Chain A
Amino acid sequence: DQQVKQNSPSLSVQEGRISILNCDYTNSMFDYFLWYKKYPAEGPTFLISISSIKDKNEDGRFTVFLNKSAKHLSLHIVPSQPGDSAVYFCAASFTSGYSTLTFGKGTMLLVSP
Chain B
Amino acid sequence: EAGVVQSPRYKIIEKKQPVAFWCNPISGHNTLYWYRQNLGQGPELLIRYENEEAVDDSQLPKDRFSAERLKGVDSTLKIQPAELGDSAVYLCASSLSGTSRGGEQFFGPGTRLTVL
Contact residues, A67-103 vs B (CB, 8 A) = 89, 91, 93, 95, 97-101, 103
Say whether A99 contacts B109, CB under 8 Å.
no
Range of interface residues on A (Cβ < 8 Å):
20 to 34
A45 to chain B, nearest CB (A): 7
Choose from A45, A91, A97, A106 the contact partner of B102 (Cβ within 8 Å): A91
B103 at the interface (CB under 8 A from A): yes
B5 to chain A, nearest CB (A): 11
Contact residues, A4-62 vs B (CB, 8 A) = 4, 9, 32, 34, 36, 41-46, 49
Rounded to whole angstroms, the CA-CA distance of A93 and B104 in the bound complex is 12
Q: Which chain B positions have C-beta within 8 A of A41?
A: 9, 109
Q: Which chain A positions have C-beta within 8 A of B55?
A: 98
Say whether B108 contacts A43, CB under 8 Å.
yes
Rounded to whole angstroms, the CA-CA distance of A46 and B95 in the bound complex is 12
Q: Which chain B positions have C-beta within 8 A of A106?
A: 40-42
Say whether B102 contacts A43, CB under 8 Å.
no
Q: Which chain B positions have C-beta within 8 A of A45?
A: 107
Q: Which chain A positions have C-beta within 8 A of B105?
A: 46, 99, 101
Rounded to whole angstroms, the CA-CA distance of A93 and B48 in the bound complex is 14
Contact residues, B36-89 vs A (CB, 8 A) = 40-45, 48, 50, 55-56
Rounded to whole angstroms, the CA-CA distance of A103 and B9 in the bound complex is 22
B25 at the interface (CB under 8 A from A): no
B4 at the interface (CB under 8 A from A): yes
Rounded to whole angstroms, the CA-CA distance of A43 and B43 in the bound complex is 10
Chain B residues with CB under 8 Å of chain A are 4, 9, 40-45, 48, 50, 55-56, 91, 93, 95, 98-110
Q: List 22 A-B contacts (CB under 8 A).
A: A4-B42, A9-B40, A32-B101, A41-B9, A43-B93, A44-B91, A45-B107, A46-B106, A89-B42, A89-B43, A91-B42, A91-B102, A98-B48, A98-B55, A99-B95, A99-B99, A99-B105, A101-B105, A103-B42, A105-B40, A105-B41, A106-B40
